[in-house]
Amino acid sequence: MATALSLESLLDPAFLESVARLRLVARQVPREGRFADQRSRDQGAGLEFRDHRPYSPGDDLRAMDWNLYRRLGKVFLRLFEELEDLPVYLCPDVSASAFHEEPPRALAAARTALALASIALAQHDSVALLPFAEHLQPLLRPISGSGRLMTFARALASLEPGGSTDLATFTRELGALRLRRGLVVLISDFFDPGGLDALTTALRNVRHRLLLVQLVRASDGEPALEGELRLVDCESGQSQDVSVTPAVLERYRSAYRSWNEGLAEFARSRGLGHLRLDVEGDIAAQLTALFQRGRYQA
Amino acid sequence: MNWQHFGSLPVALGALTIAAALFALHFLRVRHRRETVVTTLFWRQAIEEARARTLFERFRHPLAYLLLLALALSIWLAAAGPRPPARVERERVLLLDASAPMGRGQRFALARKALAGALARAPREATRVLWCGAQVEGLYLPGEDPLLLDLRLEGRQPEATPPSIERVIAHLAALPRSRPLEIRLFGDAPLRAEFLKGLPKDVEVARAPLDGEAPEPSGLFTLGVNSAASGAWDRVDLLVRAHSGETPTVELGGGLLTGTPRGKGLLFTDLPAAGGIVHVKAGGSESECVLPERPLLGVLVGGDLPAALLDCLAADPGVRLVEDASKADLCVRRRGDSVGEGLPALELVPASDQQQAFLLTAPGEEPADELLDQALALGLDRIDATSLAGQGGVVIGLGARRGPLRSFSLWSELCGPGYDLIQGRAFPLLIGRVLRWLAGVRRFPAVVAAGEPVALDLTELEPVGLDPVPPRAGRYRRAPDAGGGEVAAALLLPPFEDGAPIAPAGGGGGGDWIGRLTLLALLLALIEGWLLRTGRMP
């Protein structure tokens, strides 16, 4: 099993530079947020004029449009756009499978999380780090400000292998936190022992916008195994005796392909973001592909 | 190598053991290699799908078991050397030709190989093998283990005898039988078409094909040498019989000889008995014969010898009287005469000086009985000793002793007027044989044909109401009462003629089951490999 992550392996200036131009754009910013760059439905003391509405008793008289009153003889209020932040909850999978192979999926997960955090912090959004395995392990409360990237990176570097993946427990515990609605980025291989049904059921319970970053490698679909094997699950420790023949391999490929298609279909039907990220490939390039024209609308 | 001799029960038990062992092996747990993976989720699904097609939970691969069992049993049975069910509707005799022509090249080895193959395929209970050489011998009897054939043929080679196949077949065909007879010939012995036509209908004869080149015509001469009919001691007659139908060309010392027809051959008379080599050619074959050496005996004669004795010496065509002792081979003298000192001698001795009437002296270690036999062979057995004893009133005895030189002494009185020894027909014979014995001249044998009856008494043979047959080429001693001496039997090879059909390959023994089973095993192995490669078998 791979060892824990290091700060040096994460802080790659070139990598961070390559994602600096990317932006996260929220379709809908939750109310009562901080002042930031995201356009919210709140109307308040922003600088950008948005609309007029009739005066109602109790409205702030400072917002009355006196020019309009002089021309029309009716009282209207000037409404301004409120810019707020988008909470971004970065949830890397730290189950044992994330640290099993080389390079570990955890490294790709951490670099992805760092890249997204860099983007979010740069646009004054708040970022939280909520790694998970069998349970949610809140590691960093929402922080904001571009100067907090190092804090975030240190938190990432402290990630350690957990137990097995349990998305149902994770989503239940995530809901229990009653976090302000935002963007939950799940960075995982999604190899939930319960299979695709358990996975989709769990994800349906998430009350946030979801971006699924699926960590894959070529050997997932084409395992280089043959002969009489006792396959041991690195997370649960359970073993499975398999005579790996071409026919069994073909059935394995079929099962993996079906699972993948099911996950993609689920994301498409729910309007979730879904990125298949090859952990052995260029992380920045694959992330860039997600940001069409440099923007990802969450 | 196989274990045919184990019988069917051990082979069946072995097959059962293999089946049980393979069955047990299928229950053994496979030793798995441990491999850690990120998830077994998809492997479980793949295994679940595979299990849905199996019949049993533990014994999961019955078809694989059956395939392996068929493969193993094929190899086992091939090694067991199976034989087809015995065809007992006919009796089968395999004849191995061991006559002289089989000594050419590898013919005999090829015949042995073909015979062993045919025996392996033949029904064991109804097959026997006969050795057809100088004598007919059983090599394999019905029901025996075929391995015995190899043991009985070990070290055996073709014999200097003419082919006897036709005689053997005729004998077999004449024996009473309850089933049709199938005869297979392994060899090049001729089988005449007219002979085969004369066989009973239920006797089928065929020649087994041998690998290698077909036999070439050879052995077409019979050469016989005998004393010259003209009576000349230093001359011989030569009889040449060629069997190729061509007139042979006969040369002696580079000169072409001209013979006169005699029966089926040519007779060449009065050839010098000087050790010359006769070269015979006919029909692409050649042969040679060394003529015997029979020089004239140089005899030195002493004084005061009886006239009858001198007449015998003068009449003997093999005797040349000499006066120079250095040119003499022996001498004839009275005892006390100094002539021919140091030479073998025929001596006349006064009866007062010698107890026996005839006394043989010879060097060497031969026992006395042997010497007496030699003395009798000189012709003394033809002398009427009783009559002589009556005439002289003395005992006529024969003695033998050791001495540095050969000598033969007899009473001088026997050559006188009081006895009729010199008047009898046996006297010249006695003198002639004594002279040749003294000079060490060996009689060369008469020549007869091996394998054919001869009207001679041969002590090595035991005729039962028939003329003896020299079984093979060689020398045979004639019975003493038939005159003694030796007879040389020469090969008389008949011309090669093949009227027998060629037996089909395989000998009708039901096919090569070992080969079939081996091919089946190979085919099953290929199927198994294909199933493994395509994942249809674990």
- State pLDDT tens for residues B32-52: 788 888 888 888 888 776 554
Question: Could you tell me the pLDDT band of residue A89, with boundaries at 50, 70 and 90?
Answer: very high
Bridge partners for A243 per DSSP: A228
- Tens of pLDDT, residues B137-173: 889 988 888 888 888 898 899 988 888 888 899 989 9
Q: Is residue A194 predicted with pLDDT exceeding 90?
A: no
B40 to A238: CB separation less than 8 angstroms, yes or no:
yes
**Omega of the bond prior to A223 within 30 degrees of 0, cis?**
no
User: Which superfamily is assigned to B91-215+496-510 in CATH?
Assistant: von Willebrand factor, type A domain (3.40.50.410)
Domain range list for chain B:
4-28+39-84+516-533, 91-215+496-510, 219-294, 304-439
Q: Per-residue pLDDT averaged across B59-83, rounded?
A: 76
Q: What is residue A28's predicted lDDT score, i.e. its pLDDT?
A: 60
Q: Which residue of B has its CA nearest to A252?
A: B46
Q: Give rounded-to-5 percent helix, strand, coil for chain B.
A: 35, 25, 45
Window from A68-77, A134-143, B58-67, B159-168 with minimum mean pLDDT: B58-67
Pairing of β B255-256 and β B249-252:
antiparallel
Highest mean pLDDT range out of A27-36, A289-298, B271-280?
A: B271-280
Q: Is residue B507 predicted with pLDDT exceeding 50?
A: no
Q: Residue B107, class by beta-carbon neighbours within 10 Å (0-12 exposed, 13-18 middle, 19+ buried)?
A: buried
B43 to A231: CB separation less than 8 angstroms, yes or no:
yes
B36 to A240: CB separation less than 8 angstroms, yes or no:
no
- Tens of pLDDT, residues A30-56: 655 555 555 555 555 556 667 778 888
Asked if A232 and B38 count as a contact pair (C-beta separation under 8 A), the reply is no
Q: What is residue A113's predicted lDDT score, i.e. its pLDDT?
A: 92
Q: Is residue B341 predicted with pLDDT exceeding 50?
A: yes
Long-range contacts of A246-250 (CB under 8 A, 24+ apart): A246/B533, A246/B534, A246/B535, A247/B50, A247/B534, A247/B535, A247/B536, A248/B46, A248/B47, A248/B50, A248/B535, A249/A223, A249/A225, A249/B46, A249/B535, A250/B535
Length of chain B: 538
Q: Per-residue pLDDT averaged across B340-365, rounded?
A: 88
Q: What is residue B84's predicted lDDT score, i.e. its pLDDT?
A: 58
Q: To the nearest whole angstrom, how far is the Cα of B89 from the nearest Cα of chain A?
A: 55
Q: Is residue B402 predicted with pLDDT exceeding 90?
A: no
B32 to A101: CB separation less than 8 angstroms, yes or no:
no
Q: What is the largest CA-CA distance in chain B?
A: 139
Q: To the nearest whole angstrom, how far is the Cα of A115 from the nearest Cα of chain B?
A: 25
Q: What is residue B509's predicted lDDT score, i.e. its pLDDT?
A: 47
- Tens of pLDDT, residues A255-269: 999 999 999 999 999
Q: Per-residue pLDDT averaged across B183-189, rounded?
A: 90
B34 to A229: CB separation less than 8 angstroms, yes or no:
yes
Instruction: Give dist(CA B83, CA B6) in Å, integer.
Output: 13
Q: To the nearest whole angstrom, how far is the Cα of B31 from the nearest Cα of chain A?
A: 7
Q: What is the dihedral of CA B79, B80, B85, B88, to 10 degrees?
A: 110
Ordered by where they begin, the domains of chain A are 7-27+86-219+274-297 (3.40.50.410), 35-84 (no CATH)
Question: Could you tell me the pLDDT band of residue B440, with boundaries at 50, 70 and 90?
Answer: confident
Asked if B429 and B202 count as a contact pair (C-beta separation under 8 A), the reply is no
Q: Per-residue pLDDT averaged across A58-73, rounded?
A: 83
Q: Which residue has the tokens 């010898």?
A: B305
Window from A48-62, B10-24, B457-471 with minimum mean pLDDT: B457-471
Q: Give the architecture-level CATH label for domain B219-294.
A: Sandwich (2.60)
A229 to B49: CB separation less than 8 angstroms, yes or no:
no
B30, B39, B532: residue with CB nearest A233: B39
Question: Could you tell me the pLDDT band of residue B460, with boundaries at 50, 70 and 90?
Answer: low
Which tokens in the block code for residue A296? 């990802």
Q: Is residue B55 predicted with pLDDT exceeding 50?
A: no
Average per-residue pLDDT for chain A: 83
